[in-house]
Amino acid sequence: MKRLAIFAYGILCYAVFFATFLYAIAFVGDLPGVPRTIDGAPRMASLPALLIDLVLLALFAVQHSLMARPAFKALWTRIIPAAAERSTYVLFSSLALILLFRFWQPLGGQVWSIHSTVGQVLMYAGFAFGWALVLYSTFLINHFDLFGLRQVWLHLRGQAYRPLAFKTPAAYRLVRHPLYVGWFFAIWCTPQMSMTHMLFALVTAAYILTAIRFEEHDLLAAHPEYADYRRRVPMLLPRLRTPAEPLDEAI
């Protein structure tokens, strides 16, 4: 019964994540049909609105980075079952985003506005490409391991969890972090860039660049071969010319 409960918990956490992911697309894209999006009429003075937004972004950044650190995981799994650790991380990340969606405060103001049809189509195409690349990249790594489903499934079957092998499938041969490349497209490609959206994009971009340093530090500790992979493959911008030497299969 305990294994079944942990498995059900993992499914629930994944369902919360996926609903949050879909809402995030509408939120960032300022799409109709959802209660709140990134833009809108200001509901309070600019300074308190700015402070609230910065606190919400910082809360997500701290949670997302702190709970991913190996030292925190070692302490956390003394409280919760190890099989549920990743699902719990996914749940807390989703809750931090839901909190951001609920209390986000528009600031007003406009940075750029693209009125040409071609320009708008290009921006929306970049936006769609970004979200598609984010999702695609998770499947290249192992979508079900990344979001905790593989862990709870193995636990349900009574099998020991084994970390994923080091691989570089498809887009990971071009850049080390295609998932983050997708995020950059998703947050910057908009025909209507408000001050609120600009704040979100700048802080998110700064967080991603900072998070990469911590993530790669952990990858180097877990996979010594990552050092050679990092030397040969650029971080975010693909090289115009393919390297002469073949790449090892790495993530």
What pLDDT digit, counting tens, does each position of 210-245 carry?
Answer: 999 989 998 898 888 999 999 999 999 998 765 544
Give the single-character DSSP code of 218: H
Residue 3 makes CB contacts below 8 A (sequence gap 6+) with 155, 156, 158
**Measured between alpha carbons, how far is 112 from 127 in angstroms, rounded to an integer?**
16
DSSP assignment of 37-93, as one string?
-S-S---S-HHHHHHHHHHHHHHHHHHHHHTTSHHHHHHHTTTS-GGGHHHHHHHHH
**pTM of the full structure:** 0.89
pLDDT at 241: 66
Q: Which tens digit of pLDDT belongs to each residue from 164-176?
A: 888 888 899 999 9
Q: Which two tokens stand for residue 48?
A: 């308190």
Q: Which two tokens stand for residue 123?
A: 């921006």
